[in-house]
């Protein structure tokens, strides 16, 4: 089984039936064999963008609670790395959620991500590798 990160875009698409990536998100989850990981800033971003419905926000949290994905905590000692990444990619720009995904990948040796965000083709981890996007090919 593989471990991958998931960004806010596919999470939003999964729970928003009007999202243009909704069908793709459903198909992705049905075919994916592995464990999904993310960070709290990604959940916060997704929940905010699903703000059109508290019911939908709760559905996201219930899915997480049932084991739909696992959360990687960002520790205080990693804040310096978040700052470093944000400064390095300020022209893109890199937001906090994206920076936490790079830090989570580095700390947990995760090499793949599910995202609709093309910026992940630019971002590099501490080993100068980018995360392979397995959501959009």
103: number of Cβ within 10 Å: 22
- The count of structural domains within the chain is 1
Range of 72's domain?
Answer: 7-133
The ranges of the chain with pLDDT < 50 are none
CA angle 43, 47, 50 (to 5 degrees): 140
What integer pLDDT is reported at residue 48 of this predicted model? Answer: 97
Share of the chain above pLDDT 70, in %: 99
The predicted pLDDT at position 64 comes to 98
pTM: 0.94
Residue 2 lies in a domain: no
Flag whether 1 is in a domain.
Answer: no
- Per the domain annotation, does 64 fall within a domain? yes
With respect to residue 118, please indicate whether it lies within any of the assigned structural domains. yes
Return the CATH number at 112: 3.40.50.1010
Structure confidence at residue 127 (pLDDT): 81
Reported as a single tens digit per residue, the pLDDT across 25-48 is 999 999 999 999 999 999 999 999
Whether the bond between 28 and the residue before it is cis, its omega within 30 degrees of 0, is no
């Amino acid at each position: 089984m593989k471990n991958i990160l998931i960004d806010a875009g596919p999470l939003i698409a999964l729970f928003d039936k009007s999202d243009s990536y909704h069908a793709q998100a459903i198909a992705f989850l049905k075919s994916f064999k592995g464990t999904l990981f993310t960070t709290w800033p990604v959940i916060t971003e997704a929940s905010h963008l699903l703000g059109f419905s508290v019911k939908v926000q709760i559905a996201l949290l219930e899915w997480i609670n049932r084991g739909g994905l696992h959360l990687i905590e960002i520790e205080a000692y990693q804040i310096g790395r978040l700052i470093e990444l944000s400064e390095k990619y300020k022209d893109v720009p890199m937001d906090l959620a994206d920076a936490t995904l790079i830090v989570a990948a580095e700390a947990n040796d995760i090499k793949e991500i599910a995202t609709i965000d093309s910026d992940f083709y630019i971002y590099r981890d501490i080993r100068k590798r980018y995360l392979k996007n397995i959501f959009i090919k």
